Amino acid sequence: MKFKKLLIASSIIASSLVSQVASAADTIKVGVLHSLSGTMAISETTLKDTVLMMIEEQNKMGGLLGKKLEAVVVDPASNWPLFAEKTRELLAKEKVDVIFGCWTSVSRKSVLPVIEELNGLLFYPVQYEGEESSKNVFYTGAAPNQQAIPAVDYLMNEIGATRWVLLGTDYVYPRTTNKILEAYLKSKGVKDKDIMINYTPFGHSDWQGIVSDVKKFGSAGMKTAVVSTVNGDANIPFYKELGNQGISAQDIPVVAFSVGEEELSGFDTKPLVGHLAAWNYFQSIESEGNSEFIAKWKKYIKDDKRVTNDPMEATYIGFKMWAKAVEKVGSTNVDAVEQAMIGVTVPNLTGGIAVMNANHHLSKPVFIGEIQDDGQVEVVWQTADTVIGDAWSDFLPSSKNLMSDWTPPMSCGNYDVSTGKCSGKM
């Protein structure tokens, strides 16, 4: 009798374990790694909601490989070391198949060693400084040659700027981007005395002195422009102080790389009217795909006043490409999906086609837009065609000879064309 009971108990336990394994196998886990609190929540919360919307939509279409997608959401709270901890949690504990996340480059840099160690897959949807190419990361935001360089060209050629203020938040993206821009400006004949560079911490709020310095710098009789890599909620007091000191877009135009429709929806837009933003997508762009996306977003978020923005499109493109690659290989295996991603195409939201290139960067159009009083952005310039993202800048001595190609036989993120060698795994 005892033996029979033991067999029954063992059978129940075994059935339970099989059921748990089968249940786990019936879902594909999607990690969502965005700050829902702290200084970057103003930008990142929307991207969390975008991923959840995409998951819901995919599940309504039957999921992937006959399995439902399950979101695993964590909050790294704008705390850069916590991003690494949460990534380890997602990969080692939750066993997610893919991660969509990060905004700042310092958060991505924090995540990178963990995702490479555990062979995870990260889709990074925000403009960044380049100078990186990892086998485990797909960069769906803009590289400098898809945003920063075209923005400077526009200011130089269309606005006639000859004096430059490079303002940034003090972390890796602004510092590296400005290093590239400084080298680019000098290659165009701009002198040291005509370049002013300043950095402020995250969440910086006292802009009076800095804006006063910008105003003084711009009073030398030469057309002056500000290139802003200020990130997060520090933008609100920055633009407010521009207005307080009477600096209009006609006097000293500001082009921003981190201010889009979502951030503008929380601003008093009066001080921003006429200033510029450089992105690869604006909500105001007319296309059938964009109209459908905007309608889906407003319905999902249950708020007709909510807006769309560039990192949302980059998230959308990355998600669609990942799903397509998974279907192609019939698996969520990271190594198989990584190779299947290369060459994948999906329609972007601006009427063209997004292509994932061998360097894990997209081909993207570039748009320059003027900020309007309703918080939308009117396009004033765009590239004739898409631009392939460049992982390594042509304007820095340390990277001008490097290229990235993750297809065999090269399979290298930083191949040195001058030596014919791969100088590392990234």
- Give average pLDDT by consecutive 10-residue segment, the chain, 426 residues: 42 41 71 95 94 98 97 97 98 98 95 98 96 97 97 96 97 95 97 97 95 95 96 88 93 91 78 91 95 97 94 98 98 98 98 97 96 90 96 95 95 95 70
CATH topology of domain 145-284+367-388: Rossmann fold (3.40.50)
pTM for the model stands at 0.89
- Delimit the domains of the chain by residue range: 26-142+292-366, 145-284+367-388
- Enter the CATH code of domain 26-142+292-366: 3.40.50.2300
CA pseudo-torsion sign 144, 256, 137, 425: positive
User: In angstroms, what CA-CA distances link 115 with 38, 108, 393?
Assistant: 23, 10, 24
Can you tell me the distance from the alpha carbon of 315 to that of 379, in angstroms, rounded to the nearest whole number? 21
Pair 145, 389: CB distance under 8 Å: yes
Q: Residues 345, 349, 355, CA angle at the centre, nearest 5°?
A: 20
Pair 143, 390: CB distance under 8 Å: yes
pLDDT value at residue 348: 97
Pair 118, 92: CB distance under 8 Å: yes
pLDDT value at residue 265: 79
Q: Which tokens sit at 76?
A: 């790294």
